Chain A
Amino acid sequence: MKSRIREALYIGLFDALPLLRDPMLLVVISLFSFLPVIFIFVFADAASAMQSLIGAIVLTFSFTGLFASQSVYFNKQWFRFQDMLVASKVSPASYAVGLSVSGLVVALPGVLVALALLLLSGPSTAIGIVLLLATSLLLWIGLVFVGFAIGATTKNARRANSIPQVLSIAMGFLPPVYYPLSRLPAIAQPFAMLIPTTHAAQLAKYYFGLIQLPASELVIGWAYLLGFAALMGFLASRRAHWVDP
């Protein structure tokens, strides 16, 4: 078990190393999800800025999950490191975990800065932070599976870059993650609830006391995120292969 964790750690570090070796790029990437917060902070009230900060943390996790697709694609089809690692004692689970956490390693500085800002900007409870991280991690797991399914299916570098970017707009910037669900017209709100990032953001905002939700919506939110992760896990297991069929 210890050796498997070590393998995963080094695979993750190796995958993240190009960014870790370039601090300027690291700053840009780790703070990418937080840029809209600055505009909301300048042009809206403090409560909206808090909502957007929580939304940014949720999205940082979801983007790193989605962009696992690039790691999967490039390691398999471009560098062909996956083939080299299959022919070694490295386990497929270590490889999958390693590629998944490499994005988190890169995003960690931004998340830590955001959490520090949250703690400084108002009353935050430890349980609020734990539940915010729990919803974000559950969403991240589901989107890592999406990333693996995309990365394993994509056959060219152009698509490997464009598909996660299009999905990040559709799942990050359009739905009510940075802004409150109530700002959407009533007719659009049920459609927004089809997107997993909306559920994660709603839960996280609730646990920080920024919005009120009935108990039934809390249950639906968690069930949706769990179901999404399970479904995407099944999809990824059908698409991503360690040994080609």
Chain B
Amino acid sequence: MKAAPSRQEDALAPRTAAPSRGAGFRRFVRHRTAVACLATLGLIVFASAFGPFFTGYGYEQTSDLQFAPPSRQHLFGTDLHGRDVLTRVLYGGRISLAVGLIGALVSLTGGVAWGMIAGYRGGRTDLAMMRFVDVLYSLPRLVFVIVLVTALDPPLREGLQRLGFVSLAGSARILLLFAGLGIVSWLTMARIVRGQVLALKEQQFVLAARAMGAGGRRILGRHLLPNLWGIVIVYLTLTIPAVILDESFLSFLGLGIQAPQSSWGSLVSDGAAAINPIRIYWWLLVFPGAAMAVTLLALNLLGDQLRDLLDPRTVRGRE
């Protein structure tokens, strides 16, 4: 590690060149944006996790009050079946965020490991492993998930019931959705990590480690991995919004989360379905849409900030 300063150390080291007058301010603003993004995300996660307990309504609790506009009883109004939209948005947040988290976890474990091994081994192993990634890449992503979910939903449900997990069987579809989105989410990460490893493994500190008798596993874990964290974290923050978006697309098409469960995508879908020229139920569209947009915005901005922070090139290019 010490022999070759990593990219991220480079970026974090104090710059010797005198920064221009606006630069300090801009960097401060950037960090403040990052902090604001993190705070917003924390708030959304917290609200989704605990909010549904405090709204006073269940997410599938129907009432006679159809299409009520936002009021004190129902802050976000009610939908076609008189269900409280606020509760459903919060509950939908759980599913949408969980999907993002699963995608992130799969990228973090599968994608990183795959890319590291392919890049480090090189040769035939690399070729075979990356060809596999390429094949999955040429599958249209969503199409693949759609086919997977519809194909395996009934057998999984049956299997779970037979094994005695009756309560799980009801959410077989969600489990499959998580799995399918996880499968397609790690590919970019694998490619990027492999590229980094290819460049890193030629460096002298790796040679030094090998000369001292370190094995492949040790070199990967102790010497290469610490140098990869920066780029991995950046792509993680960009993977999460992509996966959330994918899930909501599927739910929008009616192929993901099914009523009475909700995700942000299925809620927007309900809102879009309620559009008609006579009466406009804007709250069905605007609130779930806004929840989603704010989350994605915060994640994207955070990813941008981290990338700027960790990539010395872009920072210098901008100041």
Q: Do A and B come from one complex?
A: no
- B residues lining the A interface (CB < 8 Å): none
- A residues lining the B interface (CB < 8 Å): none
